[in-house]
Chain A
């Protein structure tokens, strides 16, 4: 379980670093981004294997499968709109869902399936505290990362290729 927590923490730190490096003078550094993605992959793999080994399958697990299937068929559209699959993630995903609904009924011209709304999240939202509070406009690859983390489901990172970070170059 410690390994699980450590992996999750390292994932969170890595994602913060990725965000922060976008604001660096001189732009994103390919070498640094590559190393970050390798660490994230290791942490993700450890997290997965320790999660699989530790807990028996609970309720949330079956609903996750459709998401995984979808992602393997259509990687471009993966987890653009994460659905809540466990009570703990419910609050975290409420706002993105609500935003999607508002966007869907509102300004369709500016809202593409791959993009989240730019609305700034309020302080009362139950977003995981390891994420930056301000949502900047992201490159397509990085948006998928952000969507995954916002859902509070690092497991859903399995549906992504971490190398999409690099493809932003």
Chain B
């Protein structure tokens, strides 16, 4: 992206109601590797997959639309009888596997169980069974006088989602991340204290590769908040912590990667010390760049870009909503300080994006150093209407078209965003709506 790119509204999915059902709250958004499919997971345990229509010659100035391709119930609520605890069905993460054949595969996880789903198309069905009627009932055997072989005939397209593997009973704590390895055979799952390595074909056991649980839980000082495999090096992964550190581990060094290979952390600025310093330094998301050279972390107030070759400090730091620093006490009281914002890279790694409050999201251009705040709102949903930058005023005097900090709606938050891997198309999830924007084509 270069300076001056305009973003336009493309589509919005979801209910218009102000009264949001809790099950409809979007909890994860992910494009597949080609960008043709866009998956969302929600608190009700459902996954909805949108497919981009093939480009039509009629409207070359518009990107092809995303329409519903498949909807299925991935996880159901469960009950742990031993601990008398309910296990939420909320989908925490979805990760697509690289496509190898006509079918699509994705991993989805709730707090305790990971599932591998196969999404396949069926556009033919067998007809003309010898022993069965068309409705499936078996014929009276004495009425069968000839042999015929069923043939496949075209039928309406059906998209089927079937669970191919269920990976369960490996996590004592709540799963926060899954990441598919570049070897396309293994993946990792991370909870608050442990990271496990799985083979996609094997469900009855996994290898524990990181364990930060102290012998005495009273000595616990930090937990794992996110984890990801390197995009190219199948032996390398990172995990972030609640203390604001990211550890890079090499699986070739040892079976148990408790000793990190590198640790990326920046000393805290003593000028900003407060009751809430630990909370706002907790990393909520970590993402490698597509090239694998850089890594991005998101904490409550900022986005940091790290060069994997330099552990001492980030190479770039962007403030997402610095105006909230003076409001931390209120944000603690209304629980917003615990919100976990995600972040994502553009396809060419030149821009990063993350969400904020009031349905604002931020685009940070690494090349020019410029940033822009945009809003996902139903007030501006004319097809291809250009989004106007928003500004938040912090001083006493508010300019025209600015919104005051105290006027921000903290119930409207954008936690989940995704960027098409190959094109300037972004998916932005508000609480229960999914907005799709694209850059303006000339």
Whether A35 contacts B83 by the Cβ 8 Å rule is: no
Is the Cβ of B217 less than 8 Å from the Cβ of A31? Answer: no
Q: How far is the CA of A100 from the CA of B225 in the complex (A)?
A: 43
Q: Are B174 and A26 in contact (CB-based, < 8 A)? A: yes
Decide yes or no whether A32 CB sits under 8 A from chain B: yes
A27 CB contact (under 8 Å) in B85, B217, B218, B220: B85
Contact flags B70-87 to A (C-beta < 8 A → 1, else 0): 000000000000010111
Q: Is the CB of A164 within 8 A of B218?
A: yes
- A39-B223 CB under 8 A given contacts A34-B242, A166-B218: no
Q: Measured between C-beta atoms, what is the minimum distance from A20 to chain B in Å? A: 9
A161 and B218 contact, Cβ closer than 8 Å, known pairs A31-B192, A38-B279: yes
Indicate if A163 sits at the interface (CB-CB under 8 A). yes
Query: With A35-B279, A39-B276, A39-B278 as given contacts, are A13 and B332 in contact (CB-CB < 8 Å)?
Result: yes
Whole-angstrom CA separation of A42 from B276 in the bound complex: 8
Closest to A42 in B: B275
* Interface range, B side: 20 to 34
Task: Give, as a whole number of angstroms, the nearest-CB distance from A44 to chain B.
Answer: 10
The residue that B218 contacts in the complex, of A17, A25, A163, with Cβ under 8 A, is: A163
B18 in contact (CB, < 8 A): no
Q: Contacts A30-B193, A39-B276, A43-B275 hold; do A25 and B86 have CB atoms under 8 A apart?
A: yes
Evaluate contact between B86 and A27: CB separation under 8 angstroms.
Answer: yes
Q: Tell me the complex Cα distance, A166–B213, Å.
A: 12
In angstroms, Cα B167 to Cα A44, docked, is 43
Bound: A69/B276 CA distance, A: 31
Q: Count A-B pairs with CB separation below 8 Å.
A: 71
Cβ of A6: which chain B residues have Cβ within 8 Å of it?
329
Most buried by A among B193, B220, B282: B220
- What residue of chain A has the Cβ atom nearest to residue B276's Cβ? A39
Could you say which residues of chain A place their CB within 8 Å of the CB of B192? 30-31
Contact A26 B111 (CB under 8 A): yes
Closest-by-CB residue of B relative to A40 is: B275
Provide the B324-360 mask, 1 if CB < 8 A to any CB of A, else 0: 0000010011010010000000000000000000000
Contact of A39 with B217 at beta-carbon distance under 8 Å, contacts A27-B85, A27-B86, A31-B192 already known: no
Q: Which 9 A-B pairs have the closest CB atoms?
A: A163-B218, A27-B85, A26-B88, A38-B278, A30-B192, A167-B217, A42-B275, A167-B218, A166-B220
Contacts A7-B275, A30-B192 supplied; 12 other A-B pairs, CB < 8 Å: A6-B329, A30-B223, A31-B192, A31-B223, A35-B242, A35-B282, A39-B275, A39-B276, A43-B275, A163-B220, A166-B220, A167-B218
Contacts from A to B (Cβ < 8 Å): 6-7, 10, 13, 17, 25-27, 29-32, 34-35, 38-39, 42-43, 46, 161, 163-164, 166-167, 169
